[in-house]
Amino acid sequence: MIDVASPAAASAKRAGWWRGDGSEPVRRNLGLVGVLVLLYLVGALARPDIFLHGGRLWSNELTVLTQASSIGVITIGMTFVMISGGIDLSVGALLALASVWSTTVATQSYGPGVMILAALLVGAGSGLVNGILIAYGRMVPFIATLATMVAARGLAQKISGKLTQIVKVTSFNRIAEWRPLGIPLLVIIFVVVAVLAWVLLNRTTFGRRTVAIGGNAEAARLAGINIRRHTLLVYTLSGLCCGIAAVMVTAQATAGSSDHGNLYELNAIAAAIIGGTALTGGRGTIVGSVLGVLVFTQIYNLFIVKNLQTEYQQIAQGVIIVAAVLIQQFRVAALRRPVPPGA
Amino acid sequence: MNPFTNGPSRRSILFGGAAVGAGALLAGCTSNADNSTKNDTGQTKVTGGDNAALGKTVTIGFSAPAADHGWIRAITDNAKKQAALYKDVKFSQVDAGADAPAQIAALQTLIQQKPDVIVLLPQDGAQLTATGKAAMEAGIQVVNLDREFSDAGAARLLIKGDNYGMGLAAGQYIGAKLKGHANPVVAEIAGIDNLPLTQDRSRGFRDGLAQYGLKVTNRVAAQFTVQSGQDVTANLLQAAQRIDAIWNHDDDQGVGVLAAIKQAGRKEFFMVGGAGSLDAMEHIKSGDSPLEATVTYPPTMASSAVSLARLIGQGKGMSDLVELQVPKQIVLTSETITKSNVDKYLPLGFRS
């Protein structure tokens, strides 16, 4: 495979850990783990009765992981899109559409299997529409997914009649209640999706092509990659992730609603960015994105267990995004600096 | 000649067929026809007497926000249905748009049409005050629904719910039940925190609890949506290992609150809801959840607003009052629904 993520690759040969060699993502992820450890320390100071108590800590962290699972799956899909150099603003709206579609009176009458299938098909199908608009309609991803974001929310409102569609199929709601071996099923789904995504990104040609297209689309095309078809697949994958997340959120809320997934697009982009995914494409890791989601969810949890107002939490979230992007900027600046002789 | 381009391959036929099949399956899934009871007969009302008699035809213009929220939806539904009950009312609804400026623009068009009365639930009371005034100056009577104008002169009639009273009722209910408990843990799940209505509800709740010497121990704010209700509650239940009572401001987000409680397997506390949705009332009636009461904030106020708008347009008063005209202000009382009186309220419950 041709390495097209050229600036990072070229500098990898240069010495100096600050310049970002091949292990840069690993260090960044360690940094995020450090942030998580810091958050636990803050928790231990603020609520020692929870964070220094094995059983309660376990229970609390399982809650954090459960609440992170749906946005986590969405962020994983978003990571592929962003690595390929695109953006998907429609994820929250697609989640809402899939949740509404899978919980109409008609769909519910077919039972949990069809409800899950409907959510996955609507998600993947809508993602396919995004892909067609971008790959074959030659639309800018930002505009195309902005349009589908608005349209999908509208369609969700049309189907639901702006009502909350309460799920009466109790076996479906059990998705959010079932805890095989004490681990919530939603967390297991999240982990499985993350592992599959890691393999797909790092161990298959699909993943390498995604990185190649995002790094330099023209070079990737010259190397023989069918960019259009690949773009189509990447957006369909993101849509499928929305469908999976829709099943998770619907089971958690025990209802489908055109309000579900509100602001998920921004949360997913933010989590991917602090996880080291470049908005310009060509760079990003699944582990980083997962850690990014966990950092945000853990902060949210800390504010609630400490009984603080949520606006502080939004401020903290903003500060973290700015800090993460600044670090990224400094790193890029360091890359561009000429290497002094003998360094 | 490329043999691979000679027409659809087996694979594309397979995938194409699967796509068509999936599309057909999905298209059949969008129906929401509900065969269960349509429970809205109690949300509109026409009384007998002189006022029911056919009078001068009144044109009523109506504008209310259209959020994806059961309560807000019930407001518009009720207004429409109530208007349809009168043969002498012409009802014309204008879209309230997404925010206050959009609603102002829509209302300017409505004012041009010169209806007799405008029933208006503003996106924001203060921002719509000037528009209310302009309508009054143009000779159109304005009925201000729920969100109050900053100037009383901008409306002929204000009819609204009692947010403070709602919190007070919830606080008193919980206080009376927890009297004598040692260090009770009382949690509050608010709605959108920067809305004045949420602040009024919380103030009432604090005052109601204070009458019994109690305080709010844990407070979280959701977004009036089911998903946010589930999310804050899942975390809240981790924050407090033992809870004695929860007040949730809004029955719409309450669907998510109850889901989170069930998922966490917690049942040591009781819960009070807010607004009075059908779903909440069904839970209260069946006793299958910690939800044992809800304090009302009835969207039937829209039905009443249309009735009163008709009377104002016809120059009539309310038949049980001595005065010849409809009063200037009506504040609905917040009622507490429990298992003992839920049957009476069920017809008033709105679908969330």
Kindly report, residue by residue over B8-59, the tens digit of the pLDDT: 677 777 777 777 777 777 777 777 775 544 445 678 888 777 788 888 999 9
Superfamily of domain B163-296: Response regulator (3.40.50.2300)
Task: Kindly state whether B70 is in contact with chain A, defined as any CB-CB distance less than 8 angstroms.
Answer: yes
How confident is the model at residue B37, as a pLDDT? 43
How confident is the model at residue B23, as a pLDDT? 78
Residue B27, CA distances (Å) to A125, A144, A161, B22, B102 in order: 12, 23, 16, 9, 34
Which of B33, B238, B263 minimises the CB distance to A177? B263
Chain A interface, best mutation among B4, B26, B29, B188, by max A CB count within 10 A: B29
How confident is the model at residue A311, as a pLDDT? 72
Task: Kindly state whether B351 is in contact with chain A, defined as any CB-CB distance less than 8 angstroms.
Answer: yes
How confident is the model at residue A15, as a pLDDT? 43
pTM of the model: 0.87
The answer to whether the Cβ–Cβ distance between A254 and B22 falls below 8 Å is no
Q: Secondary structure of chain A in the HEC alphabet?
A: CCCCCHHHHHHHCCCCHHHCCCCHHHHHHHHHHHHHHHHHHHHHHHCHHHHCCHHHHHHHHHHHHHHHHHHHHHHHHHHHHHHCCCCCCCHHHHHHHHHHHCCCHHHHCCCHHHHHHHHHHHHHHHHHHHHHHHHHCCCCHHHHHHHHHHHHHHHHHHHHCCCCEECCCHHHHHHHCCCHHHCCHHHHHHHHHHHHHHHHHHHCHHHHHHHHHHHCHHHHHHCCCCHHHHHHHHHHHHHHHHHHHHHHHHHHHCEECCCCCCCHHHHHHHHHHHCCCCCCCCCCCHHHHHHHHHHHHHHHHHHHHCCCCHHHHHHHHHHHHHHHHHHHHHHHHHHHCCCCCCC
Domain annotation covers residue A307: no
Q: Is the pLDDT at B5 greater than 90, yes or no? A: no
CA distance B122 to B115: 18
Domain annotation covers residue A233: yes
From chain A, the residues in CB contact with B221 under 8 A are: 309-310
Which pLDDT band holds residue A336 (cuts at 50, 70, 90)? Answer: low
How confident is the model at residue A10, as a pLDDT? 45
How confident is the model at residue B8, as a pLDDT? 64
State phi, psi for A224 to the nearest 5 degrees: 95, 15
CA distance A207 to A225: 12
Tell me: the pLDDT tens digits for A23-68?
677 877 888 898 899 999 999 999 999 999 999 999 999 999 999 9
Question: Chain A to chain B, count of Cβ pairs less than 8 Å apart?
Answer: 146
The answer to whether the Cβ–Cβ distance between A105 and B33 falls below 8 Å is yes
Chain A interface, best mutation among B26, B37, B68, by max A CB count within 10 A: B68
Residues in CB range of B173: below 8 A, 6 or more apart: B208, B272, B293, B295, B336
Which of B30, B238, B255 minimises the CB distance to A255? B255
Domain annotation covers residue A316: no
User: Which residues between 183 and 222 in chain B have a beta carbon less than 8 angstroms from any beta carbon of chain A?
Assistant: 193, 217-221
- Per the structure, how many domains does chain A have? 1
Tell me: the pLDDT tens digits for B48-88?
777 888 889 999 999 998 877 888 889 999 999 999 999 99
The answer to whether the Cβ–Cβ distance between A162 and B231 falls below 8 Å is no
CATH of B11-161+298-333, one of 3.50.50.60, 1.10.10.10, 3.40.50.2300, 3.40.50.300: 3.40.50.2300
CA distance B23 to A118: 10
From chain A, the residues in CB contact with B12 under 8 A are: none
> Which residues form the domain of A132?
69-297
**ipTM score of complex:** 0.86
Domain annotation covers residue A211: yes
Is the model more confident about B348 or about A324?
Answer: B348
| Domain edges within chain B | 11-161+298-333, 163-296
Rounded mean pLDDT, A261-275: 94
How confident is the model at residue B134, as a pLDDT? 94
Rounded mean pLDDT, A311-332: 77
The answer to whether the Cβ–Cβ distance between B22 and A121 falls below 8 Å is yes
How confident is the model at residue B4, as a pLDDT? 46
From chain B, the residues in CB contact with A259 under 8 A are: 68-69, 225-227
Task: Kindly state whether B225 is in contact with chain A, defined as any CB-CB distance less than 8 angstroms.
Answer: yes
DSSP β-bridge partners for residue B291: B271
Q: Is the pLDDT at B184 greater than 80, yes or no? A: yes
Tell which residue, B131, B132, B163, has the closest CA to residue B146: B163
From chain B, the residues in CB contact with A258 under 8 A are: 68
From chain B, the residues in CB contact with A236 under 8 A are: none
Which of A101, A105, A260 minimises the CB distance to B227? A260
Domain annotation covers residue A328: no
Chain B interface, best mutation among A257, A302, A310, by max B CB count within 10 A: A257
Tell me: the pLDDT tens digits for B299-329?
999 999 999 999 999 999 998 889 999 999 9
CA distance B157 to A91: 44
Chain B interface, best mutation among A163, A173, A177, A263, by max B CB count within 10 A: A163
Q: Is the pLDDT at B158 greater than 50, yes or no? A: yes
State phi, psi for A52 to the nearest 5 degrees: -110, 20
The answer to whether the Cβ–Cβ distance between B70 and A254 falls below 8 Å is no
How confident is the model at residue A23, as a pLDDT? 65
CA distance B179 to B210: 11
The answer to whether the Cβ–Cβ distance between B68 and A162 falls below 8 Å is yes
Domain annotation covers residue A327: no
Which of A105, A118, A304 minimises the CB distance to B235? A304
User: Are B11-161+298-333 and B163-296 equal in CATH topology?
Assistant: yes
Tell me: the pLDDT tens digits for B207-261?
999 999 999 999 999 999 999 999 999 999 999 999 999 999 999 999 999 999 9
Residue of A nearest to B239 (CA): A305
Domain annotation covers residue A228: yes
Residue of B nearest to A126 (CA): B23
CA-CA-CA-CA dihedral for A161, A164, A168, A173, to nearest 10: 130
Tell me: the pLDDT tens digits for A113-160?
999 999 999 999 999 999 999 999 999 999 999 999 999 999 999 999
How confident is the model at residue B30, as a pLDDT? 78
CA distance A292 to A334: 24
Q: Is the pLDDT at A13 greater than 60, yes or no? A: no
| Cβ B194 vs Cβ B202: under 8 Å | no
Which of B26, B228, B234 minimises the CB distance to A121? B26
Tell me: the pLDDT tens digits for A225-246?
999 999 999 999 999 999 999 9
